[in-house]
Every structure is written in structure tokens, then in C-alpha cells.
């Protein structure tokens, strides 16, 4: 199996497990789809998707660790830090040619 993340090969075993967990989870896919167009806060993602805040925090952390989400931060006028999350992924393509020749491409 070959796993490509934005054109670069990933470690087969760990990448396979992470990617399969992400693409098989509705909440993870909702978080990615909510953040494709523009960066959003966890609160905005939760409001749009209907996913509880705690679950959104878990998923953005997992998605960031997997390289699917980028994080940007700033400080508001009151001096409080806030973070915005945006999907780095716009396409996930799985090609099942044969049992030994599977390819997952993420771009």
C-alpha cells in the first residue's frame, strides 16, 4: 500500500491506521469540511457542525498531529489568545487496484 500526503510518501503502517480512522469517522470529516474554505475557531466549527466542543478539540488535535489541519493563532484586544484551524486537505482519494496495490492520496 502506498500512502501519499500532498505528494510525499508516508510511513506505511502508522499512516494507514491514522488515515483510516480519520476517513471513517463522520466527526473528523465534518471538521475537515467545515475548515476547507477559511480558518475557523473551535466554537465556530462546533456551531456549524453540531459536534460538541470537547469532541472538536479532540479532533483538531488529532488532525493537526496527522498533518491534516494547520493552526494559526493571535491575541485579541483584551490580551486573550485564540486559535484558528484550517484544513490542509481538500481531496482524499483511495484507489483499490488489488489487495497488494492500494494507494491513498491526500492533497
- List pLDDT tens digits, range 22-74: 888 999 999 999 999 999 999 999 999 999 999 999 999 999 988 899 999 98
Distances (CA, A) of 54 to 57, 61, 63, 88, 104: 5, 11, 14, 22, 29
pLDDT greater than 90 at residue 92: no
pLDDT greater than 60 at residue 91: yes
Q: What is the mean pLDDT of residues 7-28?
A: 72
pLDDT more than 70, % of the chain? 79
Distances (CA, A) of 10 to 1, 3, 35, 92, 103: 10, 6, 23, 14, 11
Reported confidence tier of residue 1, pLDDT bands at 50, 70, 90: very low
Report all structural domains of the chain as residue ranges with CATH numbers, in order of start.
2-106 (1.10.10.10)
Nearest to 106 by CA among 21, 2, 6, 17: 6
- pTM above threshold 0.85: no
* Residue 13 pLDDT: 57
Amino acid at each position: 500500500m502506498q500512502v501519499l500526503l500532498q505528494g510525499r510518501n508516508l510511513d506505511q503502517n502508522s499512516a494507514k491506521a491514522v488515515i483510516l480512522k480519520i476517513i471513517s469517522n463522520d466527526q473528523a470529516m465534518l471538521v475537515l469540511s467545515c475548515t476547507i474554505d477559511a480558518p475557523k475557531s473551535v466554537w465556530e466549527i462546533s456551531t456549524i457542525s453540531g459536534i460538541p466542543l470537547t469532541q472538536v478539540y479532540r479532533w483538531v488535535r488529532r488532525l493537526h498531529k496527522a498533518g491534516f489541519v494547520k493552526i494559526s493563532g493571535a491575541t485579541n484586544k483584551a490580551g486573550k489568545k485564540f486559535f484558528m484551524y484550517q484544513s490542509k486537505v481538500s481531496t482524499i482519494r483511495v484507489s483499490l487496484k488489488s489487495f497488494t496495490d492500494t494507494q491513498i492520496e491526500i492533497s
